[in-house]
Amino acid sequence: MSYMKLDFVPFFQVVVRSWRKPLMLAVLAIVPTLSPRAAAQQGGSLTVQQLGDALTSYNKNTVNNNGNIYYSVTATKGRLKMEVVLSLSPNGRVIWIASDITPMPAPGRISIAAMLSLLKRNNEIGPMFFSVNGSSLRLSYPVPNFNQTSESVKQYLQAFVSTAMDNAALWDPGSVATK
């Protein structure tokens, strides 16, 4: 208990001394606005509802999993078709765009060369990245939920789909499995 007094006393002394210095007062006034919660209150972050509204033109499917709402859309390019899921992180700071793009082969049938190619590609497509999600190969795209609009979400979704489709040769089931 006494350690709390010792920490509080110097802090209080700094605050009292800062009242005499206008620059320090300005800093103390600005610091609370730098918190993530204050930034979210200032706008620019999409809510779950606004994220869903941005996806209306994509014929979104709304999923409510025990109160956790996320959206899925189907993207096609040529003969390739994939389901893309968009959701907010629990703290609302990240819009996650992800797709389980192909099933993983059975253990022992996975091509090490193909996995190394995917890992190398992660360096080129970052912040998007390939990973293994259970029995699927997943492509994920964490997008900061800051200064987002309906249009920017659509652009991120289009970039995600283009990246997935442009790299289809790397994740094709025939490439991922050993021969």
Mind listing the pLDDT tens digit for each residue in 17-48?
A: 544 544 444 444 444 444 444 433 444 899 99
Quote the CA–CA distance of 96 and 32 in Å, as a whole number: 27
Express as a percent the part of the chain with pLDDT over 70: 76
Prediction pTM value: 0.74
Give the separation between CA 143 and CA 137, rounded to whole angstroms.
20
CATH number for the domain whose boundaries are 48-176? 3.30.1460.10
Which residues lie across from 74 on neighbouring strands? Answer: 83
Kindly report, residue by residue over 84-123, the tens digit of the pLDDT. Answer: 999 999 999 999 999 999 999 998 999 999 999 999 999 9
Residue type, 120: K
Q: What CA–CA distance (Å, rounded) separates 114 from 169?
A: 10
Tokens at residue 178, please?
A: 């050993």
Q: What tens digit of pLDDT does each residue of 127-163 get?
A: 999 999 999 999 999 999 999 999 999 999 999 999 9
Q: Is the peptide bond before 32 cis (omega within 30 degrees of 0)?
A: no
Starting at the earlier edge strand, list the strands of the sheet with 80-88: 61-65, 68-77, 80-88, 94-103, 136-144, 129-133
- CATH 3.30.1460.10 range(s) for the chain read 48-176
Secondary structure string (H, E, C) spanning 46-72: CCHHHHHHHCHHHCCEEEEECCEEEEE
